[in-house]
A and B are shown apart, each in its own frame.
Chain A
Amino acid sequence: MAALEDLYASGHRACAGCGCALFLKTLMRVAGPDVIVTNSTGCMEVVSTPYPESAWKVPWIHSLFENNAPVAAGIEAALKATGRKGNTKVIAIGGDGATFDIGFGLLSGVMERGHDILYICYDNEAYMNTGIQRSGSTPYDASTTTTPAGKMSFGNQRPKKNVPAIMAAHGVPYVATTSMGYPADFTKKVRKALSIEGPKYLQVHATCVPGWGIDGALSLEILRLAVETGLYPLYEYENGQITSVKKIKNRKPVKEYLDKQKRYSHLFKMPGGDREIEKIQHIADLNAKHFNLDIEEKATAKEKEAKEE
């Protein structure tokens, strides 16, 4: 049975339709058995190891929220010191809360010291495990339990922190964003990252079914929409320079992404919601401009000229 051979075993307690569980399953299929995994506190730590069981079939250790990256760095240093490094890869997995907020300083230290680890952040855009609290990764206008939408507010009023750019500023050899909506893109970037020596940072967009208020069946479709609307651009930094960007043909309006999620439903009901959707569209437009996401077609180029006139 193929399913029984997965290094991330079935029977884990993730919600039905969980994008992050799909991330772990796919990651272990790509990375293979010769890895050591460290995992900070978070959804994927909780659902994969309901004591006394474990879904992992590779060496795995649970660290605290903040010291995930240094634990991985310590393992890497110990392997090197004892001459047992070989081809063994050390992978640190953390959620966006552990990466963007709590473990941020220590992650920065590991990146700066040049340990040979791959840090992967699965980005579901809030503290989902503890009950959907806002994190540094929560996008503009998303409703969470600590930034609830209501008469006084449209939800989270701060933009998403640009951690990939900060990691790239450390001068590390490889930084990339990817999405579980594009398994081929994810697989390619994990393979590439594992082939490079030095600190690597990968950020994977993954859904949270209860946190985003979505239909589990649409899990991957919504992730693809995030990319297709320009709200979650997929790109690679190599040695601090952007080297590749996933181009988008016929970029979709952000409305198509927002209206499938309960965390944005207030934008379609509250007065003034239209203006907020325009602001989110503006964020997507800025992304498209910054990363040069759009594939310029002749017709659209003409339209642009007409607009400029």
Chain B
Amino acid sequence: MAEKMRLTIGLVTKPGTTMQYHTGGWRTYRAVINQEKCIGCRRCADSCPDGAPFECAHDGKKKKFCVNYDYCKGCGICAYECPVDAIDMAVEEK
């Protein structure tokens, strides 16, 4: 949760500070990328409203994508948009 922040005159806030709030806690399903099926097309990263999938490695042939579970809200857009069905929506277990 949010740490205590110093308030400023004119209600000016620091840039990008929503990142300290982890929206991952909202989800019921988590996006799981099947790295064998993935072709590294970037469509998941481009279609995610929360910027959760990101390019985490490049093995020389293709880009590898991982999901930042701090922010994945589990909406399932990436799984639907994936052209090779490489993303599964698995039930979140806590």
Report A's interface with B, CB cutoff 8 A: 1-4, 6, 8-19, 21-22, 25-26, 48-58, 183, 209, 215-221
Contact = CB atoms under 8 A, between A and B. Distances in A.
Contacts of A221: 80
A218 B80 contact: yes
Q: Which of B27, B49, B68 has the most CB of A within 10 A?
A: B49
B51 A10 contact: yes
A21 to B, nearest CB: 4
Contact of A16 (B2, B54, B55, B75): B75
Given A2-B45, A3-B51, A51-B13, A16 B74 contact: yes
A21 B75 contact: no
Given A1-B54, A25-B49, A17 B75 contact: yes
Nearest to B65: A2
20 contacts: A3-B45, A4-B19, A10-B19, A10-B50, A10-B71, A16-B26, A16-B74, A17-B76, A17-B77, A18-B75, A22-B49, A50-B18, A52-B2, A53-B13, A53-B20, A56-B16, A219-B75, A220-B80, A220-B81, A221-B80
Nearest to A21: B49
B30 to A, nearest CB: 12
A52 B7 contact: yes
A54 B51 contact: no
Given A3-B53, A17-B76, 11 more contacts: A2-B54, A3-B51, A3-B68, A4-B54, A16-B73, A17-B75, A25-B51, A50-B21, A217-B76, A217-B89, A219-B77
B48 interface: yes
Nearest to B5: A52
Interface in B49-91: 49-56, 68, 70-71, 73-77, 79-81, 89
The 7 closest A-B pairs by CB, nearest first: A217-B76, A17-B75, A11-B18, A16-B73, A16-B75, A21-B49, A216-B75
B47 A54 contact: no
B92 interface: no
A18 B30 CA distance: 17
A4 B46 CA distance: 14
Interface string B1-34: 0100101000101111111111100110000000
Contacts of B11: 51
A30 to B, nearest CB: 11
A99 to B, nearest CB: 21
A11 B23 contact: yes
B17 A52 contact: yes
Interface of B: 2, 5, 7, 11, 13-23, 26-27, 45-56, 68, 70-71, 73-77, 79-81, 89
B46 to A, nearest CB: 6
Nearest to B15: A57
Contacts of B68: 1, 3, 10
A154 to B, nearest CB: 30
Contacts of A209: 75
Q: Which of B27, B54, B70, B74 has the most CB of A within 10 A?
A: B54
A6 B7 CA distance: 24
A2 B22 CA distance: 17
A26 B49 CA distance: 9
A53 B47 contact: no
A259 to B, nearest CB: 17
A9 B68 CA distance: 13
